Amino acid sequence: MTITDPILPNQLTWPSIPPLVVDPLTARGEAPPVGATVPPTPPTCGRHWAVVYGKYDPLTDTHPTIWQIPRPVMIRCEWERVRDDPSRARVDIGYASDCIDQVASLNVINQNIGIYREGILVYFGVITRLEFEEARVEIYAEDMLWFMRRRVLNPGYDNATVGVNAIDHVNFMLWQSYFSFGFNPQGMVSASEPYILPVLQTDAEKSNRAVNNWQITVHEDLEHQSQYTNIDYSTFGKAIYFWDFNTRWTGLDLPDLLESDVSSFPRVTQYGNAAYTRAIRTDGSGYAGLYDEFSTPGSTVTDEYFRNIDFLMGNSEPNDRDGPPSADTIANWERVAKKTLSGRLPNQELVAIPNGTTLMPSCTWNIDYTLAGSWFSITVARAGRVVTSLLRLQSLRVVETGEEGERISITTTAAPDDWVTPT
């Protein structure tokens, strides 16, 4: 498939990677199709408005519009993007005499909500809960991962003998075992627009897992791959992106963050309890892959006091094969162990941003197109120390109310010292 989307301010540069969608309902950067068009002159109260959409129609390859919620009745709107976790949203509307019928027609599961921020669709999810109160109704939604947590994986698979590239495995699992075989409620594997989007990496870690039929849900398998083969994933509208933990998706790098851009001052930290010099990836049956930073030529760790500070990782897959692991499997475990030590060496100084920190108006990030998992740099001077750190955006949360206006908060996590670019 050839992707011809317009270039975004932070667009990807690798032709083999599908670009971020401008409008997750169409994935083409166009206005939503007829029947799902937001009025060109939206109400003027607040920055957000929302649209309730129906279930996916395979004949038109779109979601029909049910109700555009007028901005004057929206009293609260919040949405988020979270790395390696579901993203949720909430819209509160006050009752008005001219929208009682629309409120009464709201349903869960077979209706979706799209949230717009100044004309840009920033969130799309399935309505999972409705709460009708005396003077308002609260609409709660979750992204497309909601379906994955309620879909049992069948058939299972067996990658124990021959390890499979973890990204390829997740891609196959989503396409074949979840969003295909007649179960495609949101058009995730639409023939015209893809929404399951891997960032391919040929040297990604391998999965040696075996799963029986009816053993786990699709989301549980994705969580396993995230934990044990270092797969990152994030949703953007309808789309689900996933990539290797050490992949620096430089096309989505955010502008440098300044101390003046955040409400809470960043801190320079040394985490002694997170410091290790040797990582061991074991299957619990007497076999392991090992990486020893202290014994690596050219290592910056030279003090004997730091020798053999061990980080032990079990892969929870001891019974997925017969006999000892192959040499290729051991080599893969060694690569996993090396990645795990990234950012964990003794006396490393890092910048930490307090969770829930609010972005100030001076921040130059384009919030509408910011993907959880993006990397950025920050420099902080504290107590005679000047430290520059690479961080990853763990979550982005936007809340707007009529009384308090809009507030944007973030959580972050350290980025690996070593990274690769997609191939």
Per residue in 299-343, pLDDT (tens digit) is: 878 788 888 888 888 755 544 556 788 888 888 888 888 887 877
Q: How confident is the prediction along the chain (423 residues), in pLDDT tens digits per residue? A: 233 333 333 333 333 334 444 444 433 333 334 444 433 333 334 788 899 999 888 888 888 999 988 777 888 999 999 999 999 999 998 876 567 788 888 999 999 999 999 888 999 999 999 998 877 899 999 998 998 888 888 888 888 777 888 999 998 888 877 776 566 778 887 666 778 888 877 777 888 888 999 999 999 999 988 888 888 999 998 889 999 888 887 777 899 998 889 999 888 887 777 788 898 888 778 888 898 888 888 787 878 888 888 888 875 554 455 678 888 888 888 888 888 787 777 777 788 899 889 999 999 999 998 999 999 999 888 767 788 888 999 999 999 987 888 999 999 988 887 787 775
Model pTM score:
0.81
Pairing of strands 48-54, 111-117: antiparallel
CA distance 204 to 246: 9
Tell me the pLDDT tens digit for each residue of 10-64.
333 333 334 444 444 433 333 334 444 433 333 334 788 899 999 888 888 888 9
CATH entry, 148-244, from 3.55.50, 2.60.40, 3.90.550, 1.10.3910: 3.55.50
Q: Are strands 210-211 and 375-382 parallel, antiparallel or unpaired?
A: unpaired
Distance (Å, whole) CA 192 – CA 414:
37
**pLDDT for position 306:** 83
Alpha-carbon span 25 to 115, nearest angstrom: 12
Q: What is the pLDDT of residues 381-390, one digit of tens each?
A: 876 778 888 8
> How many Cβ atoms sit within 10 Å of the Cβ of residue 223?
18
| Domain boundaries defined on the chain | 48-143, 148-244, 250-270+349-414, 272-340
